Amino acid sequence: MPTPVLATKLFVPALRPQVVPRPRLIARLREGLRPGRKLTLISAPAGFGKTTLLSEWIADSRQRDASVRVAWVSLDDGDNDPARFLTYLVAALRSAGPAQPPSVEQALTVEHALTVEQALTVEQTLTALINDIAQAPHDTILVLDDFHLVDAAPVRDALAFLLERLPSNLHLAMAGRSDPSLPLARLRGRGELTELRAADLRFTPDESAAFLNEVMGLTLSATDIAALETRTEGWIAGLQLAALSMRDRSDIAGFIRAFTGSHRFVIDYLVEEVLQRQPDDVRNFLFRTAILDRLSGPLCDAVTGQARGDEMLEKLERENLFVAPLDDHRRWYRYHHLFADVLRARFPAEWRDSLPDLHRRAGEWYERNNLPEDAVRHALAAEDFERAANLIEGAVPALRKGRQDATLLEWLTLLPAEVVARRPVLSVYLAWAMLIAGNLDAVELRLRDAEAGLSAAAGAGSGPGAAVAGAAGADPAAVGEELRLLPVMIAVYRASLAQALGDVAGTAEHARRALDLTEPGDHFGRAAAAGFLGLASWASGDLEAGLRAFAEVRTTLRLAGNTADVLGTTVVLADMLIPLGRLRDARRAYDEALQVASAQGEPAPQPMADLHVGISELHREQGELDAAREHLLAAQALGERASLPENRYRWFVAMARVREAEGNPDAALDLLTEAEHLYARGFFPEVRPISALRARVWISQGRLAEAREWATGQGLSTADLSYLSEFSQITLARLLIAEHRADPKQGAIQEALALLDRLLEAAEAGGRTGSGNEILVLQALAHQARGRLSLALASLERVLDQAEPEGYLRLFLDEGAPLAELLGEAAHRGIRPGHLSRLRRAFRPATAGAQPVGAQPAVPLAAGEALSERELHVLRLLATELSGPEIARELYLSLNTIRTHTRHIFGKLSVNSRPAAVRRAEELDLL
């Protein structure tokens, strides 16, 4: 872990010896542990005893079942950083049971050299956690206390992800002052939520009496107790404050009558009463230590300048003065949050000038005790920015390794700009953090600051050390190494920025500079630089150069021993091999990578799911839909931890294309929408935009108005022939052909042919045979639609010659009946008889899938309609001995849907029974 895990955040608060038992609430919480219940939520304002109730419930659960494990995290503001949140989540679950299996460690520490150290997704680590917990032989309760202090969207999304996939042996409990932003209504509707609120937590009159007289040591009458209970409405903190104020008072009834109003006024009144009644030494101690989130004797001594911190904390606990122990040894405490808030708000005006000094002392103590995050926080609060900068410089390498991007960005933005600008290391880190956060406009300014700082240090002749102020707590050798590598990283980050902005030339320029600056042994620098050079070549359409660059990347990564990233580059290589028309090479690369990945055993290396997704697309193209589905299901089973974050959208794209091939375009569109939500711009060239894929499905459905709106919105011009626009331009050609079929008078076909001619010339010039194959197919269809059969057959023959050795099939099948008709004419003329025979056999059951506008069914049936791909699947299963429910399970459909498909099949085949349908299908060679 990048910073020490504070054990005090993981302790279940000790149950006080004197506590009011609450059996009615414990019974409800017990009910929440029944099978099917996922979440226990305790939501109420400050001072309602949420944490105490949780502690009592945990003690009860352990007493009833000694095998139950408890993982507890006391959250604070710092846990808004998703990496820190995950760190404590993993630490808590580890502390609850045996050592965490290796898959979690891998998910937390794996690095990606080619994506400029992009942060891991929260879901990757959670998937690993879920998989590991699900295999545990015991039940675990995970408690997140003070959840209202954490409101960052990534953490909120992480909890939603966890809840949706919670294993049956894990129960989540949360307590806070407000409802978390989670799908509570859905959980409530499913009966998966147990909730307690302020109305449930209020003390009853009997509980109030027990608390005031037995716990707080008062001797109040029933009338006084009833009056107090009415005044406070059972609010526990109000009763405690009142009890503290009433000690040694003679006029109890008069005191009770003296305060009324809202909780805020009650707090102000009663805290004032409590503070005024404390001796000066206690009051001074309370105010001076209120700046601390956690209290220990030595820390309090450092802040107050006295030597009785342990004694004072024990005294405060004895007197119930709003401190709670955080561990079983009574070494660490915290103030009740509400009490600390009031102490800070009421900090004496005459002491305010001493606040920076108190924070400085706290920061120095934390630094001496190797707690850098707290040290930085107090240095910033003291506005000791130079010291804070030194501390951050020392802590940043560990933060980067731990992916605590949010913490780093928060710290650096709290520093004055001029302080950061003087420090090249911090300037580069701030640029990196902003790049990760998506604030692209600010990246270049920070990189220029870093260069200016390095130049100033070099000009002064002081060497690298002059560029850093001596980073307190840092390893000088590590800081010096960071400085030495800064020029390379500046160039790499500029290449990454250019890539994110779509500046191909800039990406290449900065990548070359980074490569020139790397030294022998700097494997990360060389891999990153070569990788961006390859991405620039890819984006410009020079795919051969891209392949050469990534060959160097793979070599460098192997030297660095980074097997996971070597496997990850397979996806990039295949993405360049496919438009080159080298399907067999791409498939071979995936096969070899999957063999290497499988040989590594469990847990699966991170890119393994990406490999399954990639090879599924090749199986789909080569007509092996079953194999494509199997690989996609394998990828899904591995979970997101086995995929790079930037590749998560690809599963949905691949499955969409399978669904479209099956004749289910609506499902394909839904999957493309999911892919669009997950797509992260900037990692790789956008050579196959999701919006263009969606437009292709619309075209196949005849939804030409929507496809035309897409083309207009994209600003597509037939004059733009860059490689990055090639896929969209080919899609535009498809649209023009479909528009001609719908209305031949528009003249769209001439425009389509002119565009296809220019696209083919550009593809051939770039050696992109794969792109050329699709263009030739469309040329053939365009000439056919125009009535020029000889030209259509000439284009078809060319693509048949190029496509057969690589095993293309969907290239032809996806075009439906018009191409089937053209293939029939080619067969009649004796063109490529062997290949055409195989294609036409494949066409018979496939021509009823998604068809272009104006297409006619290739297999005429008695009812005049073709069977869809899904209906053909059902028909083939009807020819087996499977029952209707078994067919439904086989196809993952409802029984009603199967019955609907069966009725449609009977109607199209003009039969009224299953045996008759099978006989008719055999006559038509549909099976």
pTM more than 0.75:
no
Query: In the predicted model, what is the mean pLDDT of residues 272-282?
Result: 78
**pLDDT for res 260:** 52
Contact between 631 and 612 (Cβ < 8 Å): yes
Please give the C-alpha separations between residue 583 and each of 240, 518, 612, 634, 779, in angstroms, as whole numbers: 75, 35, 15, 21, 22
Tell me the pLDDT band of 473, cut-offs 50, 70 and 90: very low
pLDDT of residue 851: 43
307-316, 522-531, 843-852: least confidently modelled range:
843-852
Q: Which letter does DSSP use for residue 468 in this model? A: S
* 777 pLDDT above the threshold of 70: yes
For every residue of 282-316, DSSP letters joined together read: HHHHHHHHTT-SSEEHHHHHHHHS-S-HHHHHHHH
Higher pLDDT: 508 or 110? It is 508
Q: Hey, what are 239's tokens? A: 């009763």
Strand order of the β-sheet with 193-197 is 69-74, 140-145, 170-176, 39-43, 193-197
Which of 259-263, 456-460, 649-653 is least confident?
A: 259-263
What's the mean per-residue pLDDT of the chain?
A: 82
Q: Which fold has domain 869-923?
A: Arc Repressor Mutant, subunit A (1.10.10)
pLDDT band at 86 (very low <50, low <70, confident <90, very high): confident
| Span 125-180, pLDDT tens digits | 787 788 888 888 889 999 999 998 888 888 888 888 888 889 989 999 999 887 88
Residue type, 13: P
pLDDT 10s digits, 579-594: 999 999 999 999 998 8
Position 858 scores a pLDDT of 38
The string of pLDDT tens digits covering residues 334-365 is 887 667 777 887 788 878 888 999 999 999 99
Worst-scoring range by mean pLDDT, 16-25, 504-513, 664-673, 757-766?
Answer: 16-25
What phi and psi, each to the nearest 5 degrees, are found at residue 196? -125, 135
**pLDDT tens sequence across 630-655:** 889 888 888 776 777 778 899 999 99
| Helix (H), strand (E) at residue 173 | strand 170-176
- Give the pLDDT of residue 13: 85
Name which residue leads in pLDDT, 825 or 440: 825
Position 457 pLDDT exceeds 70: no
Q: pLDDT value at position 273?
A: 67
Helical ranges in 829-910 per DSSP H = 833-846, 869-878, 884-891, 895-909
Q: Which CATH number fits domain 7-97+136-201: 3.40.50.300, 3.40.50.970, 3.40.50.80, 3.50.50.60?
A: 3.40.50.300
Q: How confident is the model at residue 476 (pLDDT cuts 50, 70, 90)?
A: low
- Give me the pLDDT at residue 242, please: 78
Determine whether domain 688-846 maps to CATH 1.25.40.10: yes
pLDDT level of residue 479 (50, 70, 90 thresholds): low
Looking at the structure, give the CATH architecture of the domain made up of residues 280-380: Orthogonal Bundle (1.10)
| pLDDT for position 171 | 94
Structure tokens at 6: 């504070």
For the chain, the domains span: 7-97+136-201, 205-276, 280-380, 688-846, 869-923
β-partners of residue 295 are: 333
Alpha carbons 915 and 921: distance in angstroms, whole number: 10
Angle at CA of residue 578, ends 573 and 584, nearest 5°: 90
**How far apart, in whole angstroms, are the C-alpha atoms of residue 641 and residue 604?**
9
Per residue in 706-765, pLDDT (tens digit) is 999 999 998 887 666 789 899 999 999 999 999 999 988 878 999 999 999 999 999 999
Q: Taking CA 216 as the corner, what is the angle to CA 213 and CA 221, rounded to the nearest 5 degrees? A: 25
5 with 91: CB under 8 angstroms? yes
The per-residue pLDDT for 264 is 54
For residue 524, name the pLDDT band (cuts at 50, 70, 90): confident
Phi–psi pair at 323, nearest 5 degrees: -115, 150
More confident residue, 247 or 692: 692
pLDDT of residue 668: 93
